[in-house]
Amino acid sequence: MLNFKDKVVYQIYPKSFYDTNGDGWGDLNGVTAKLDYLKELGIDYIWLTPFFVSPQRDNGYDIADYRAVDERFGTMADFENLTKEAEVRGIGVMLDMVFNHTSTEHQWFKRALAGEKEFQDYYKFVDGEPDSPPTNWVSKFGGNAWEYVPSLGKWYLHLFDVTQADLNWENPKVRKELKDVVLFWKSKGVSGFRFDVINLISKPDTLEDDSQGDGRRFYTDGPRVHEYLKELVADTGIEDMITVGEMSSTSIDNCIKYSNPDEKELAMTFSFHHLKVDYKDGDKWSLMPYDKISFKKLFKDWQEQMTAKNGWNALFLTNHDQPRIISRFGNEDKYWKESGKLFGGLIHLMRGTPYVYQGEEIGMLNTHFTDINQYKDVESLNYYNILLEQGKSSTEALDIINQRSRDNCRTPMQWDSSDNDGFSTGNPWIQVPKFGKAITVESQVDDEDSILAFYKKLIALRKDYEIISNGDVSFDLEVPEQVVSFKRSLDGQELLVYGNLGEDDIEISLESDLSKGKLLISNYGENKVNLASSLILRPYELLVVII
């Protein structure tokens, strides 16, 4: 297996990236048009979220045809051109394979509904009575996870929206179909794949109610998931490609298995525990300030334990399902720049492969929408209603959605000062947020002190310093509660990273003799830091010393 230690991936949500034909939707040609920008940023791969034929109930994660480009994104020729142009610039293309479920608009599901037994076996259909779903499992988007089909007298499972029917991986024909999809895109010259919620594909043989939770413990990292992944990888020959699995509510032990090269499963894994530290009692829709101690502890555990057993982490703080990190754990106003750089720095200096989500590199913020009708995401809209049913006022419910909605990261990329921040000359499918300052590529591209310049530098550092891409990692430096710190080490060299997660100045005592060290990067201007044995970290200050 190849490794991807010194690589950086840039995630593109094409619908919101750049619209070239003025229909309000970003498109594949829009990605091609911005490749020079991405090359300049220094990234190695782009991961495109789904642009396949889809009713767009879940923005393309509900696929109706795995092998065709949705015409709103362009054509197959546009895709081939994008791949070719990316390759010319040394950028590989990764595609998003949504294999846990299909849209109910997919041919397979339609044929199942039409009564074809063969296709009913493609999904999780269970005989039953209209009033009693097979289990009490809860859909990740709210409500029971089973839907009744009166004409068949059967229920089908949907762990996500009712229009996203779970596939039956126990059926070898399904596994064969999905392998063929991978082979199809591989033959188009793509460089790798991201596998959507891939640790949910293996369901238990016996279905039972969950008396303790929403059912996830039965199908998360399910009984045959490793076997299925090994088979998928071996039969499609993608072992040496860059692959990343999105792992929902997973465990470190399973992620070691998914990503240890000896297992021949995936190159790396996304996990989410560190992004649940502001969920009160584990509930995404219950607000709480983020718990810095858990945040630090989760990084420590995942970094150290994955490393000890040769697992590999995909590193990220934001993606198309998460709020913007500055709005979430940083400060949008007073410390916008400092906090944006701090969080970027932490991710890029850890052990693993960093992912940059579009707009993160310029410090984009949450939607700040004032009306629920501005939201588009199915999950946000479902939960808004659920919150109202639970007795919240519309103001309270909107406040929760404002903080937790997946649309926070799905608003258009902010390019320049023209209409719609340069995203589209038409009517964007979702509004461009209007909030305080102009946050655009144009306003940062020539500014050496910008968040954008800082990301360029971080990406370049990974290529220049093997200690960053390949060094060991430990989190045992003694620091105050609001400070996160870790040490990287390689061949007698050490890299010390300290970050102030808070907004108070805080004194830290540094490890041994830092005066021999060199400041590698700083979010407070490099010459302002004096490397003594104890020093004050300012709000959101990131200190990186190499010795």
Which residues contact ligand GLC by CB under 6 A?
58, 61, 98, 160, 196-197, 246, 320-321
Binding Ca ion (rule: CB under 5 A), the pick from 19, 96, 166, 421 is: 19
Give me the catalytic one of 62, 166, 221, 246. 246
Phi and psi, residue 205, nearest 5°: -70, -40
CB of 417 to Ca ion, least distance (A): 21
CA distances in angstroms from 514 to 255, 495, 531, listed in the order given: 36, 11, 6
Which phi-psi region, left, alpha or beta, contains residue 69 (left: φ > 0; alpha: ψ -120 to 50)?
beta
Residue 406 C-beta: closest distance to ligand GLC, Å: 7
Tell the smallest beta-carbon distance from residue 53 to Ca ion (Å).
Answer: 16
Task: Select from 93, 108, 101, 11 the least CA-distant residue to 58.
Answer: 101
d(CA 415, CA 36): 14
Closest CA to 330 of 507, 544, 503, 523: 503
Is residue 246 part of the annotated active site? The answer reads yes
Give min distance, CB of 74 to Ca ion, in A. 8
| Contact yes or no for 343/326 (Cβ under 8 A) | yes
Instruction: Give me the least distance between CB of 70 and Ca ion, in Å please.
Output: 11
Identify which range of 19-27, 37-45, 238-246, 362-370 contacts Ca ion by CB under 5 A. 19-27
Which residue minimizes CB distance to ligand GLC?
A: 61
Q: Is 176 exposed, middle or buried (0-12, 13-18, 19+ CB in 10 A)?
A: exposed
Q: Which residues contact 416 (CB under 8 A, 6 or more apart)?
A: 422, 440, 441, 442, 443
332 binds Ca ion per the rule CB under 5 A:
no
Instruction: Give the burial string for 203-231 (b: 16+ CB within 10 Å, else e).
Output: beeebeeeeeeebbebbbbbeebbebbeb
Applying CB under 5 A, does 75 fall inside the site for Ca ion? no
Shortest reach from residue 101's CB to ligand GLC, in Å: 7
Report the residue number, 320 or 488, with the smaller CB distance to ligand GLC: 320
Instruction: Pick from 3, 5, 6, 21 the residue near Ca ion by CB under 5 A.
Output: 21
Residue 25 binding: pick among ligand GLC, Ca ion, none (C-beta 5-8 Å cut-off by kind): Ca ion
Type of residue found at 75: T
Q: Please list every residue from 24 through 53 that binds Ca ion, using CB under 5 A.
A: 25, 27
Q: Which partner from the list Ca ion, ligand GLC, none does 166 bind, CB cut-off 5 to 8 Å by kind?
A: none
β pairing state of 9-12 and 45-48: parallel
Residue 61 vs 228, nearer CB to ligand GLC = 61
Q: Which burial class, exposed, middle or buried, applies to 446 when counting CB atoms under 10 A from its CB (0-12, 13-18, 19+)?
A: exposed
Minimum CB separation of residue 335 from ligand GLC in Å reads 29
* Residue 61 binding partner per list ligand GLC, Ca ion, none, with a CB distance cut-off of 5 to 8 Å that depends on partner kind: ligand GLC
| Residue 6 binds Ca ion (CB under 5 A) | no
Our answer to whether residue 379 is catalytic in this structure is: no
Q: Which is nearer to ligand GLC, 197 or 244 (CB)?
A: 197
Q: Which is nearer to ligand GLC, 78 or 321 (CB)?
A: 321
- Per-residue binder mask for Ca ion (CB under 5 A), 159-188, x = binder: ------------------------------
Residue 59 vs 163, nearer CB to Ca ion: 59
Q: How far is CA 457 from CA 345, 348, 452, 484, in A?
A: 10, 10, 9, 21
Read out DSSP for 16-31? GT--SSSSSS--HHHH
The two three-digit tokens of residue 123, written as one number: 């999904």
The nearer residue to ligand GLC, 160 or 465, going by C-beta atoms, is 160
Nearest residue (CB) to ligand GLC, 98 versus 413: 98
By CB under 5 A, tell whether 121 contacts Ca ion.
no
The secondary structure of 351-372, three-state, reads CCEEEEECCHHHCCCCCCCCCH
CA-CA distance, 462 to 470, in Å (whole number)?
Answer: 9
Q: Which residue out of 196, 332, 338, 407 is catalytically annotated?
A: 196
Residues taking part in catalysis: 196, 246
Contacting residues toward Ca ion, per CB under 5 A? 19, 21, 23, 25, 27
